[in-house]
Amino acid sequence: MFVDIAKITIKAGKGGNGAVSFRREKYVPAGGPNGGDGGRGGDIIFRVNTNLSTLADFRYKRKYTAPNGADGKGSNCNGKKGENLYIDVPCGTIIRELESGVVLADMSDKTEFIAAKGGKGGWGNAHFATPTRQAPRFAKDGMPGEEWQVQLELKLLADVGLLGFPNVGKSTLISVVSEAKPIIANYPFTTITPVLGVVNIDDGNSFVMADIPGLIEGASDGIGLGHEFLRHVERCRMLVHIVDVSGHEGRDPKEDFKTINEELLKFNPEMAKLPQIVAGNKIDMATDKQIKEFKKFIEEQGYEYFSICAPIHEGTKELIDAIVAKLKTLPPIKRFKAEEIPIEILEKKKDSGYKITVADEDTYIIEAEWLVPILSKIDFDDYESLQYLQRVLVSSGIEQELIDKGIQEGDTVSIYDIEFEYIP
């Protein structure tokens, strides 16, 4: 089954906890703290696998969790880092944050994408030794790993997209101009999945052509097969619109042409602006009058027109030459730019759960998983950003609890790997 959209949950590994430990050696009468740091949690990393062509694997597994980092140990032994978890996707997969819909990455090349970062390991008590605090009996827990719900959407990478009603000859055309072997039969909806074919040109160059399953009227509203595959047209640099010029199945080729373009416009107005070349197929079953009238109709609308009979290669060379000439004038295949997750989405992940530990008389440790993604967005050199963090601490009740626990000006507030002095 061809699957081109999937929703999954990804969770990076938690950082290991820091250790509380002291040197205890025979000839060291006053051993200091030597608790090691926890290891960093494993990341969730997406990478392209060219052997994959669909997202079918994600129908059966919906949650991916990377290993946690190991806890620190005594003798300043740091914990082992959690192994990264790699998720393979087909080339052309778009990764979006599910709730906001923002694009996190476009997996269109070999570049790997870290979708969820593992939590940092907690500090061992050796980190907290100072001239006035020579035997700290506390350490930090590791930070939680990032967790996101993401949507994977496959948008095929093709230079040219073939459009047209079912059974107009798209599969036949791609089979004779490339090495693709689609199923070809004399009934509608023979092609139920997109088919890619590489068209080689005499000078050693090539381009990729995609046979998009047949569209019908109402496709943009979810009727028929076509609405599932219109997303694959978005990346195409140009379109070749195949029309049965003979109308031997009782359809009007002019109306077919207008209907398909209307569906493109409804689905995505930008797609309707893509350059188009029109190919009138099945000319062996059409009269000269039909061909002449349809050619005139198309050219009056400003499109190039070619008459072809795909099974016997008639007119296909001229069509391919025109496609090559047009592609030379067009920009490369569309790439989607990565976007920032809105701060509003990060705030929605916030809940009321937090834990405040009084480590000693002047150090307060705050733990709250929902704070992690917010902290990653805070610029500590920017006053407004710090003011935002202050509002979060107030609105969540954290600041009031710090006051209730007796915090004083100048005491240390520690939130995972961030420390600052408390100023009322």
- Could you tell me if 377 and 407 lie in one domain? yes
**Beta-carbon neighbour count of residue 171 at 10 Å?**
25
Q: Give domain status of residue 401, yes or no.
A: yes
From the list 142, 122, 108, the residue with the least C-alpha distance to 336 is 108
Specify the amino acid at residue 357. Answer: T
Phi-psi region of 206 (alpha: psi -120 to 50; beta: other; left: phi over 0): beta
> What is the distance between the alpha carbons of residues 190 and 173, in angstroms, rounded to a whole number?
14
The domain spanning residue 397 has which CATH number? Answer: 3.30.300.350
- pLDDT reading at 185 higher than 80: no
Provide CB contacts within 8 A for 126, sequence distance 6+: 32, 33, 34, 35, 36, 76
Same domain, 150 and 1: yes
Q: Which of 123, 139, 155 is the last residue of a domain?
A: 155
CATH of the domain at 111: 2.70.210.12
**What is the C-alpha to C-alpha distance for residues 412 and 420, in angstroms, rounded to an integer?**
6
Residue 337 included in any domain: no
Please indicate, yes or no, whether residues 399 and 311 belong to a single structural domain of this protein: no
Considering the domain architecture, whether residues 167 and 135 belong to the same structural domain is answered as no
> Quick check: is 418 in a domain?
yes
Closest CA to 68 of 147, 124, 9, 139: 147
CA distance 192 to 190: 6
pLDDT given at position 3: 65
- CATH code, domain carrying 273: 3.40.50.300
Res 256 pLDDT > 60? yes
Q: Would you state the pLDDT for residue 27?
A: 64
Token output for 192: 């139920």
CA 168 to mean position of chain CA atoms: 34
Q: 371-423 pLDDT, tens per residue?
A: 877 777 777 788 888 888 888 888 888 889 999 988 988 888 888 778 888 88
Q: What's the CA gap between 300 and 291, in Å, rounded?
A: 14
Q: Are residues 200 and 307 in the same domain?
A: yes
Residue 334 within a domain:
no
Residues 242 and 387 in one domain: no
Radius of gyration (C-alpha) of the chain in whole angstroms = 31
Is 139's pLDDT higher than 90? no
Separation between Cα atoms, residue 367 and residue 383, nearest integer Å: 24
Locate tokens 């500590």: which residue? Answer: 380
* Domain co-membership, 303 together with 267: yes
Domain assignment of residue 3, given as a range: 1-155
Give the highest mean pLDDT range of 53-62, 85-94, 177-186, 264-273.
Answer: 85-94
Q: Tokens in use for 45? A: 């990393």
For residue 81, is it within any domain?
A: yes
Q: Do 168 and 147 belong to one domain?
A: no
Domain assignment present for residue 335? The answer is no
Distances (CA, A) of 404 to 37, 138, 413: 30, 21, 14
Residue 218 has pLDDT above 50, yes or no: no
Same domain, 196 and 209: yes
Note whether 297 and 359 are same-domain residues.
no
Which of the four pLDDT bands, split at 50, 70 and 90, describes residue 368? confident
Q: Which of these three, 155, 173, 207, is where a domain ends?
A: 155
- Which pair of tokens denotes residue 233? 């047209």
Nearest in space to 162 (alpha carbons), one of 64, 66, 239: 239
Residue 105 lies in a domain: yes
Angle between helices 316-327 and 170-177 (to 10 degrees): 80
> Between 287 and 249, where is the model more confident?
287
Domain count, the chain: 3
Both 231 and 367 in a single domain? no
Q: Which residue has the higher pLDDT, 137 or 30?
A: 137
First to last CA, the chain: 61
Q: Quick one: 263 and 292 in the same domain?
A: yes
Of 10, 144, 7, 13, whose CA–CA distance to 64 is shortest? 10
What does DSSP say about strands 363-367 and 412-415: parallel, antiparallel, or unpaired? parallel
Under the banding of pLDDT at 50, 70 and 90, the label for residue 225 is very low
Asked whether residue 415 is assigned to any structural domain, the reply reads: yes
More confident residue, 224 or 237: 237
Task: Report which listed range, 3-12, 171-180, 375-384, is most confident.
Answer: 3-12
Q: Of 155, 183, 212, at which residue does a domain stop?
A: 155
> Does residue 310 register a pLDDT over 60?
yes
- What backbone phi and psi angles, to 5 degrees, belong to 81? -70, 140
Q: Where are the alpha helices (DSSP H) in 168-252?
A: 170-177
The answer to whether residue 228 scores a pLDDT higher than 50 is yes
Distances from the Cα of 117 to the Cαs of 82, 372, 373, in angstroms?
11, 11, 10
Q: Provide the mean pLDDT of the chain.
A: 84
Whole-prediction pTM: 0.72
- Residues 66, 43: Cα–Cα separation, whole Å: 6
Long-range contacts (CB closer than 8 Å, 24 or more residues apart) made by 331-334: 331/237, 332/237, 333/108, 333/157, 333/158, 333/159, 333/235, 333/236, 333/237, 334/234, 334/235, 334/237
Partners of residue 206 on adjacent β-strands: 200
Given a cut of 70, is residue 89 above it in pLDDT?
yes
> Measured between alpha carbons, how far is 303 from 280 in angstroms, rounded to an integer?
12
